[in-house]
Structure 1
Amino acid sequence: MRTVDELIRLLSDRGGVVRTVVVTESGFSRRAVDRAVRDGLITRPRRGWLATKDAERTLVTAARLGVVLTCRTQAGLLGLWVHDSTGAPHFAVPRHAAVRIPFEARVHRGKPIVPRHPDALVDPIENVLAYVAECEPFEHALATWESALNRSLVTLEALRGYSWKPAARRVLDHAVPFSDAGLETYLRVRLRWLRIGIRVQIWIAGHRVDGLIGDRLVIQIDGSHHVGAQRSEDIRHDAELRLMGYHVVRLSYTQVMFDWPAAQDLIMRAVAQGLHRAA
């Protein structure tokens, strides 16, 4: 007879929330499962589902409601860049599913890009990106897509093989895999009107720079927690870049996110002075 410890281990190995049929097919009797639930060792979020006591809360919620985590919610859980991680969660359900959600949520319906397995509580990455493209403004969606590309969760070659809706097709047409964070995507998109070459995440003097406009104008963007040793190293690298003939404009997270006109004005003035050109 299989033990409760083995049951908990099975649930944990499969993400913490599992369909009951998977457990019974693995050799656990219904009586043993019911006893483990009764003793408080595991929970039953919904009929047909089991969970460990420490399972990810969002997965338990998805099982309880009969939905799949998708769009910006799942993108955030994957560690992708999301412009704003607050707000109502995003779920996916089949087109005609009768689902009642007792709190504010964004529910996506319709045929997914990639079919969902009946056991799935999270959407495949392609479905996540498809909904992000439909749900978010272009700039925000592009940043999430490029974050997925940068983390090698998808490739441009594979993405081009799917049948996307117009919004996702537009994002795909502009996406590149080099942006390490959404701020770099914003930089590239917001300055493309200058019609000057802008490269992101390239190596100069042994370190990556966030952006290079033309040949000599380096744009560095500080993260929201830019302090301590990282800041000291960035100051040293800025000085080395200047000695090599580069001009450095360093922007803060707040400037890019909340005061872009002022940040853009600094860059425009640098370009007007020709600081992007090689001597």
Structure 2
Amino acid sequence: MTRIVPATVRRLGSVAHRRELLATGLTRRQVETSWRAGEIVRIRHGLYGLLDLPADVIRAARVGGALAGASSLAHRGAWVPPRPRLVVSVDHNARDLRDPDDAGARLDRDRDDVLVLRDLSRFDRRTERLLASPSRAAAQVLLHEPAEHAAAIVDSALRLSPMQRPDLDQVCHLLATRRSARGLVTSIDARAESGTESIARLLLARDGIRAEPQVWVDDHTRVDLLVDGWFVLECVSKEHHSSPAAYDRDRERTIRITGLGFVVLEVTYAQVLFDWPSVLKAVRTTLGR
């Protein structure tokens, strides 16, 4: 084989409809032979892609569109909320939507792990053929995700490499007519260093408690959230704090911060995301004292 078919698919943007391949001069037989030889993958009827396409991109294409919203930012390395959904942008009049894991089955409209957005017509088909741009994905997140999750996702996306991070001015432009979502942009803060921290900050703000992220309390120590200049909220996780050495460092850190005159409360990912009332009660009680 000359591998002309995969080379053509790559030139067309890594995925291509059969009609696009035929328009280049390839024959149906060449396309079919290349697929059967394992040179390309058939994503769904009439749609082919390269073998090295990421799984989430293939799943979105199988549904019938491009990877979008939180899925697009997660693909680039942003924070992933619990129970994430596959977010796919399709054309406004798309009809034949398929199961992301089975091209032979129609998409079940009642499944809660796939979110379909009918906004693909707004995409730049040259640069967003496979997935939404960082700025567009961030705008979609602010429109379609719970506010606290949206803040955590976009906060983390702003810490990605320059080519992968959203531009907040562009996000505001994309949300020009969506006042409520645009207002959420003011809650975004790139200083946050974890999703848990972002969510805690936003939930505290809802209760009228302003928490400043990533504050230096001495020349060597930053705290996750500082409230009222003296109350520190530290967001800890098993992922980064589970080893004996990490545990010891955390205790030393807590002693150091307390020795500077701060009151410290440590909260976990599970407590912030799934038991926030208990956290809020502890914060209120501490501030009340």
TM-score w.r.t. the length of structure 1 is 0.78
Q: For structure 1, list consecutive stretches of 5 or more residues without a partner in the other structure.
A: 274-279
Which residue of 194, 199, 203 maps to 1:186? 199
The code of the aligned residue for 2:107 comes to: F
Alignment correspondent of 2:53: 55
Which residue of 101, 107, 114 maps to 2:116? 107
Q: Quick one: distance in 1 between partners of 2:203 and 2:224? A: 14
The code of the aligned residue for 1:172 comes to: V
How big is the shift at 1:35?
4.3
Cα RMSD (Å): 3.4
How big is the shift at 1:134?
2.5
Alignment of 1:125-140 (within 5 A): 125-140=134-149
State how many pairs are aligned. Answer: 266
Write out the 4+ residue segments of structure 1 that deviate beyond 4 Å after TM superposition. 6-15, 27-35, 111-114, 193-197
Alignment of 1:1-279 (within 5 A): 3-4=2-3, 17-19=14-16, 35-46=33-44, 47-52=46-51, 54-87=52-85, 89-101=86-98, 102-104=106-108, 105-110=114-119, 114-117=123-126, 120-151=129-160, 153-162=165-174, 163-192=176-205, 195=208, 197-205=210-218, 206-225=220-239, 226-228=241-243, 229-273=245-289
How big is the shift at 1:71?
2.1
* Superposed CA offset, 1:23-47 (max 9, x none): 97xx997677654423223323243
Equivalent residue of 2:153, what SS? helix
Percent identity among equivalent residues? 24
Q: Quick one: distance in 2 between partners of 1:33 and 1:99? A: 22
TM-score w.r.t. the length of structure 2 is 0.76
Q: Quick one: distance in 2 between partners of 1:165 and 1:113? A: 15
Question: Are the counterparts in 2 of residues 20 and 48 from structure 1 also a CA contact under 8 Å?
Answer: yes
Question: Are the counterparts in 1 of residues 43 and 58 from structure 2 also a CA contact under 8 Å?
Answer: yes
Equivalent residue of 1:91, what SS? strand
Q: Quick one: distance in 2 between partners of 1:203 and 1:103? A: 50
Question: Are the counterparts in 2 of residues 45 and 51 from structure 1 also a CA contact under 8 Å?
Answer: no
The code of the aligned residue for 1:253 comes to: Y
Question: Are the counterparts in 2 of residues 18 and 50 from structure 1 also a CA contact under 8 Å?
Answer: yes
* Superposed CA offset, 1:151-209 (max 9, x none): 35023344334425233212113222222222222222222256554211223342332
Q: For structure 2, list consecutive stretches of 5 or more residues without a partner in the other structure.
A: 99-105, 109-113
Going from structure 1 to structure 2, the CA distance change for 1:231 and 1:14 (only over 3 Å counts) comes to farther
